[in-house]
Copies of this chain bind each other. A is one copy, B any other.
Amino acid sequence: MADRNPPPLTPAGYQVLLALADGKAHGYAVMRFVEDVTNGSVQLGPGTLYRTIARLVADGLVEEVSGDDSEPHDARRRYYRMTSLGIDAAKRETDLLARLVGVAENAGLLDSARRSTA
């Protein structure tokens, strides 16, 4: 069973949970999601990706689910979704990050004028 104490969430762990926020997804889709949502500034290689998923499952934050009927069947894919424990952890981490961003914003460290970079 997963422990009672909240296991600390690694950066990669949070990325994966975010990718699963909209529902279930398979590993490779998580990888593409993270790269996409961070504009390529965060990249999960296969090592970090599958190791992180395995750890999240072991900690009870994520569980494997069966494939979707709507999608074309692909035997290779393994789908995952957050557990309620995982949702809790994601909320806690989001709260923390939001607080940090707030502090940074108050200090003028939010450079929103950054869109097209050279």
Considering the chains assembled together, what is the distance between the CA atoms of A118 and B87 in angstroms?
Answer: 19
Cα of A57 to Cα of B105 in the assembled complex, Å: 23
Q: Are A96 and B41 in contact (CB under 8 A)?
A: yes
Q: Find out whether the CB atom of B96 lies under 8 angstroms from the CB atom of A110.
A: no
Set B99, B110, B117: member contacting A98, Cβ < 8 A:
B110
Number of residues on chain A facing chain B (CB within 8 A)? 36
Is A29 engaged at the interface, CB distance under 8 Å to the other chain?
A: no
Cross-chain contact B117 with A91 (CB below 8 angstroms): no
Q: A90-B109, A92-B114, A97-B104 are in contact. List 4 more A-B contacts (CB 8 A).
A: A14-B100, A18-B104, A94-B109, A97-B100
**Whole-angstrom CA separation of A95 from B37 in the bound complex:** 12
